[in-house]
């Protein structure tokens, strides 16, 4: 779940996925990649790798992941509100794409590493719990 939402944001298509705009309900959300779309990744290998590397995800990376996730969710809400208000979803996604890049730049976590952590969290309950705990800890008013 985390992976699909964030994958869409990283690709700049969050408005489409979050609102179901521009694609049929039967189409799956795009996979998060940053240039790897030219390399077809074998699905079974991709799913096996995160479990093995999940324990290698540091507390700092969990914190960075949670920070990026929070900021992307806020950005998604802003974009969704604009699309619901009648703006073109593609135009909104293109306009907000630099903000997605800035979010990653400000946290020090690369989109690729974010994607690896998201995939690992999909497969590893302990990691998912660590991320959820960090997300809960960061709910203090700003």
| pLDDT category of residue 140 using cuts at 50, 70 and 90 | low
Whether 34 maps to a domain, the answer reads no
Whether 33 maps to a domain, the answer reads no
Whether 88 maps to a domain, the answer reads yes
pLDDT in tens, 88-119: 999 999 999 999 999 999 999 999 999 999 99
Domain interval for residue 96: 2-27+42-137
Whether 101 maps to a domain, the answer reads yes
Question: Percentage helix, strand, coil, to 5, in the chain?
Answer: 75, 0, 25
Whether 129 maps to a domain, the answer reads yes
**Beta carbons of 76 and 5 less than 8 angstroms apart:** yes
Q: Report the number of distinct structural domains present in the chain.
A: 1
| pLDDT category of residue 137 using cuts at 50, 70 and 90 | confident
**pTM for this prediction:** 0.63
Q: Give the best-scoring range by mean pLDDT among 35-44, 50-59, 65-74.
A: 65-74
Whether 32 maps to a domain, the answer reads no
Range list of H helices, the chain:
2-10, 14-19, 43-53, 59-84, 89-107, 111-123, 125-137
How many angstroms separate the Cα of 37 from the Cα of each of 33, 42, 66, 69, 103?
6, 12, 25, 22, 22
């Amino acid at each position: 779940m985390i992976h699909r939402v964030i994958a869409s944001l990283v690709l700049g298509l969050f408005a489409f996925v979050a609102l179901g705009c521009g694609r049929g309900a039967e189409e799956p959300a795009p996979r998060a990649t940053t240039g790897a779309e030219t390399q077809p990744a074998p699905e079974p290998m991709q799913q096996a790798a995160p479990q093995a590397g999940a324990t290698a995800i540091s507390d700092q990376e969990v914190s960075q992941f949670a920070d990026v996730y929070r900021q992307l969710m806020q950005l998604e809400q802003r974009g969704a509100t604009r699309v619901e208000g009648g703006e073109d979803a593609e135009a909104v996604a293109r306009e907000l794409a630099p903000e997605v890049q800035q979010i990653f730049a400000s946290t020090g976590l690369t989109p690729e590493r974010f994607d690896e952590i998201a995939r690992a969290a999909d497969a590893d309950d302990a990691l998912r719990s660590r991320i959820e705990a960090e997300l809960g800890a960061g709910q203090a008013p700003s």
